[in-house]
Amino acid sequence: MTAPRRLRSQDWFDNPDHADMTALYLERFMNYGTTPEELRSGRPIIGIAQSGSDLNPCNRHHLDLAKRVRDGIRDAGGIAIEFPSHPLFENCKRPTAALDRNLAYLGLVELLYGYPFDGVVLTTGCDKTTPSAIMAAATVDIPAIVLSGGPMLDGWHEGHLVGSGTVIWQSRRKLSAGEITRDEFLQSALDSAPSIGHCNTMGTASTMNAIAEALGMSLTGCAAIPAAYRERGQIAYRTGLRAVELVHEDIRPSQILTRAAFLNAIRVNSAIGGSTNAQPHLMAMARHAGADLRPEDWQAHGYDVPLLANVQPAGAWLGERFHRAGGVPAVMWELLQAGVLDGDCPTVTGRTMARNLEGRESKDREVIKPYDAPMMARAGFLVLRGNLFDFAIMKTSAISDDFRARYLSQPGQENIFEATAFVFDGSADYHARINDPALPIDADSILVIRGAGPLGWPGAAEVVNMQPPDRLIQAGIRSLPTLGDGRQSGTADSPSILNASPESAAGGGLAWLRTGDRIRIDLNQGRCDMLVDEAEIARRKADGIPATPASATPWQRIYRDTVTQLSEGATIRDAEDFTRISATLPRH
């Protein structure tokens, strides 16, 4: 241990210049039996940012795990103070949980900055709990470590693996095709969620916790341990221990959350077949960390990386087998051996990433493929631009053989296709009209949704993976190309073009698109354009931007007044004006 230095918390609890304030700061903590001697002993005060509650079922077992975190903190000589963070429950918050990511971020910044914390354990799980917590830790820049809650056990339905989220997209197509009943649809969804934990697919939750680990913000192997396994409680204990050591060693997020670490995270996202939501969340974390990350980095550093993890939705298996195959470290081990990972990045273990990965080779090659025999070569996100938007991504690992054969394999026109646009203003419009027999959607169509971005929704909704009309599904056309200024669930198996920025509500090109327009997509050139001439586009601008719902709550209005586009992470504008704010203490 290095020599004791004056801790941040001592400015509250042991401040000779402010005897009166110190008395006030101390006295109410006695309410739960803490003694003044403990709080004045110079031990690190470690916050446990508790994301679990009845309102966040995916993270709820953190209420139990926190006991093991506390044990670890205490055994390492620290004092734990547990507090709630704003709940972010992906499946249930309307009009979308994305609206609340920045709210949770803001709340946690105020708590970490304004209260006597020397370090913090960030409990994470459900999609946005991870980025919001890391964003806050980056802004405040006190020693911080991520403890994910882990995925649910694998789901089984009628003898088949069913992954959370992914089964919804699969079953709704079967329902539309008349292959299952509504009761069977419901049962397949319920069976996909058999235990405590977050989504067991490589959806946004598993992706963002893998990314936390790839960034170096959690203990090695943390992300993939299923919530119900004993190892989950053990790593909670070790995380608590390590949180105290981080304070003594003064290892801060600013040393870990570098450009090199973010590029590693992009590579890992490709190799695990990770969620498209990683794009805005990684950008947001980088912005708040003050790290240089650019929208085009996704293609420049991620596209060429192969898919290694055979996990739904891009593969076959679920969280339990992924963990037993070695989890995130085994994927990163492959990337490191192949020379596509920066092994020098510092991490919360106090060692470099390369050291963390020693001996972590996978033992199960059905689930984690070798780098030179992958599930798919070049499996990252393509970055597209054109007259419809300046930025959008397409998840190539979700392109099915059927989709590739129909749209991307015309001789002499590989990776190029045209389609007729059918434009929907939000998901209510889509649901109202998709099965209208008068709407001539066919295999030559592309489904477009707008009004689904950060400003339009508000919050950017997961609605772009629209399914074709029932009559097409019944005729065997199970998917169509889709495009939109919203997002899609990380559990979706659709190669949509999404996160289009600027969005329609911000006056992006999607605002001027009309049903019946032809759209040309050229994946070789990274282009997506409406084949409408400039004069016609100019004429349409007189019609104005398509309307979106008014703000229904105070926060919706504040969010809209402050939010950036998805290409920029949908952060609070000028996020980088506030980085490393713990360099100064708040006034008394």
Q: Which residues bind ligand FES (CB under 6 A)?
A: 58, 90-91, 126-127, 164, 198-199, 203, 205
Phi, psi dihedrals of residue 487, rounded to the nearest 5°: -115, -175
By the rule CB under 5 A, 100 interacts with Mg ion: no
Q: How far is the CB of 278 from Mg ion (least distance, A)?
A: 11
Q: Which does 489 bind (CB under 5 to 8 A by kind): Mg ion, ligand FES, none?
A: Mg ion
Q: Which does 205 bind (CB under 5 to 8 A by kind): ligand FES, Mg ion, none?
A: ligand FES
Q: How far is the CB of 127 from ligand FES (least distance, A)?
A: 6
Cα–Cα dist 223/202, whole Å: 11
Q: Which does 269 bind (CB under 5 to 8 A by kind): Mg ion, ligand FES, none?
A: none
Q: Which does 493 bind (CB under 5 to 8 A by kind): ligand FES, Mg ion, none?
A: none
Q: Which of these ranges, 90-98, 236-244, 375-383, 563-571, lies near Mg ion under the rule CB under 5 A?
A: 90-98
Q: How far is the CB of 279 from ligand FES (least distance, A)?
A: 18
Which CB, 118 or 127, lies closer to ligand FES?
Answer: 127
By the rule CB under 5 A, 204 interacts with Mg ion: yes
Q: Which of these ranges, 25-33, 196-204, 465-473, 546-554, lies near Mg ion under the rule CB under 5 A?
A: 196-204
Q: Which of these ranges, 155-163, 203-211, 431-439, 503-511, lies near Mg ion under the rule CB under 5 A?
A: 203-211
Which CB, 96 or 356, lies closer to Mg ion?
Answer: 96
Residues 235-254 touching Mg ion, rule: CB under 5 A, are none
**Are the C-beta atoms of 447 and 472 separated by less than 8 Å?**
no
Q: How far is the CB of 55 from ligand FES (least distance, A)?
A: 11
**Are the C-beta atoms of 487 and 570 separated by less than 8 Å?**
no
470 HSE (CA, 13 A, CB side): 13
Q: Which residues pair with 572 in a beta bridge?
A: 563
Cα–Cα dist 307/290, whole Å: 29
Which residues neighbour 237 within 8 Å (Cβ) at sequence distance 6 or greater?
Answer: 68, 69, 71, 72
Cα dihedral value 289, 291, 296, 302, nearest 10: -80
By the rule CB under 5 A, 297 interacts with Mg ion: no
Cα–Cα dist 135/569, whole Å: 11
Hunting for tokens 């039996």 — which residue is that?
A: 33
By the rule CB under 5 A, 499 interacts with Mg ion: no
Q: Which does 126 bind (CB under 5 to 8 A by kind): ligand FES, Mg ion, none?
A: ligand FES
Structure tokens at 447: 């489904």
Which CB, 127 or 529, lies closer to Mg ion?
Answer: 127
How many beta carbons lie within 10 A of that of residue 94, not counting itself?
9
By the rule CB under 5 A, 489 interacts with Mg ion: yes
Which CB, 465 or 571, lies closer to Mg ion?
Answer: 465
Cα–Cα dist 161/192, whole Å: 8
Q: How far is the CB of 126 from ligand FES (least distance, A)?
A: 3
Which CB, 213 or 462, lies closer to Mg ion?
Answer: 462
Q: Which does 166 bind (CB under 5 to 8 A by kind): ligand FES, Mg ion, none?
A: none
Which CB, 212 or 472, lies closer to ligand FES?
Answer: 212
By the rule CB under 5 A, 90 interacts with Mg ion: yes
Q: How far is the CB of 90 from Mg ion (least distance, A)?
A: 5
- Strand 160-162, strand 45-50: pairing: unpaired
End-to-end Cα spacing for the chain? 31
Cα–Cα dist 123/148, whole Å: 6
Which residues neighbour 37 within 8 Å (Cβ) at sequence distance 6 or greater?
Answer: none
Q: How far is the CB of 489 from ligand FES (least distance, A)?
A: 8
Hunting for tokens 């959350």 — which residue is that?
A: 257
Q: How far is the CB of 223 from ligand FES (least distance, A)?
A: 13
Q: How far is the CB of 209 from ligand FES (least distance, A)?
A: 10
Q: How far is the CB of 188 from ligand FES (least distance, A)?
A: 16
Helix (H/G/I), strand (E/B), else coil: 368: strand
Q: How far is the CB of 166 from Mg ion (least distance, A)?
A: 12
**Are the C-beta atoms of 74 and 39 separated by less than 8 Å?**
no
Which CB, 154 or 503, lies closer to ligand FES?
Answer: 154
Judged on CB neighbours under 10 Å (0-12, 13-18, 19+), 97 is: buried
**Are the C-beta atoms of 423 and 448 separated by less than 8 Å?**
yes
Judged on CB neighbours under 10 Å (0-12, 13-18, 19+), 452 is: buried
CA neighbor of 271 nearest in space, from 378, 364, 150, 127: 378
Residues 109-138 touching Mg ion, rule: CB under 5 A, are 127
Which CB, 115 or 185, lies closer to ligand FES?
Answer: 185
Enumerate binding residues for Mg ion (CB under 5 A): 90, 127, 204, 489
